[in-house]
Amino acid sequence: MELEKRKRLIDVASGREQADLVIVGAHIVDVYNGRLIEGDVAIVDGHIAGIGSYEGRTTYDAGGAFLLPGLIDGHVHIESSLVDPQSFSKLVVPHGTTTVIADPHEICNVCGLEGFDYMVEASGHLPLEVFFMLPSCVPATAFEHSGAVLDAGVLSKRIGETRVLGLGEMMDMVGTIAAEGAILDKLALSEANGKLTDGHAPSVAGNGLNAYVAASIHTDHECATVEEMNDRISRGMYVLLREGSACHDVRNLLKGVTERNAHMCLFCTDDRQPRSILESGHIDNHLRIAVEEGLDPILAVRMATLSAADCYRLYDRGAIAPGKLADLVVVKDLKSFEVVDVFTSGLRYDEDRWDSHIPSVPSVVSGRVDIGKFDESSLHLNLKSPHVRVIDIHSESVVTGSSTATVQLDAENRYVQDSSQDIVKLAVVERHKGTGHVGLALIRGYGITDGAVATTIAHDSHNIIVAGDNDRDMALAVHQVAELGGGIVMVMGGKVIDSLPLPIAGLMTNLGGPYVAEKFQTMHRKAKELLKIHEGIDPFMTLSFMALPVIPHLKVTDMGLFDVDLFSFVSIEA
The CATH number that applies at residue 295 is 3.20.20.140
Domain co-membership, 375 together with 250? no
Q: Domain check: are 301 and 412 in the same one?
A: no
* 51 occurs within a structural domain: no
pLDDT tens readout for residues 123-166:
999 999 999 999 999 998 889 999 999 999 999 999 999 999 99
Q: Is residue 359 part of a domain?
A: no
Q: Are residues 425 and 549 in the same domain?
A: yes
Q: Which of 318, 334, 354 is the last residue of a domain?
A: 318
Considering only 59-73, 194-208, 365-379, 395-409, which range has the smallest mean pLDDT? 395-409
In a shared domain, residues 103 and 162: yes
Confirm whether 25 is domain-assigned. no
Q: Could you tell me the pTM of the whole model?
A: 0.94
Strand order in the sheet with 464-468: 400-406, 387-393, 438-444, 423-429, 464-468, 451-455, 487-492, 495-501
Please, how many CA atoms are within 13 Å of residue 567, restricted to the half-sphere of its CB? 10
User: Would the pLDDT of 356 be above 70?
Assistant: no
**Domains in the chain, number:** 2
Which residues, other chains included, contact 253 with Cβ-Cβ below 8 Å and sequence gap of 6+? 223, 225, 226, 229, 239, 241, 265
Note whether residue 346 is domain-resident.
no
Q: Is residue 23 in a domain?
A: no
Q: For 391-438, how does the pLDDT look when each residue is reduced to its tens digit (9 = 90+)?
A: 999 887 788 999 999 999 999 999 998 778 999 999 999 999 999 999
Half-sphere exposure of 4 (CA within 13 A, CB side): 1
pLDDT digits (tens, 9 = 90+) for 187-212: 999 999 999 999 999 889 999 999 99
Backbone phi, psi, residue 499, to 5°: -160, 155
**Chosen domain end from 286, 301, 318:** 318
- How far is the first Cα of the chain from the last one, in angstroms, to the nearest whole number? 63
Domain that holds residue 463: 367-569
Note the pLDDT of residue 496. 98
Residue 360 confidence (pLDDT)? 87
Instruction: Judge whether 552 lies within some domain.
Output: yes
The answer to whether residues 122 and 83 touch, using CB atoms and an 8 Å cutoff, is no
Residues 278, 399 share a domain: no
Output the furthest CA–CA distance in the chain (Å, rounded): 91
Instruction: Identify whether residues 305 and 410 lie together within a single domain.
Output: no
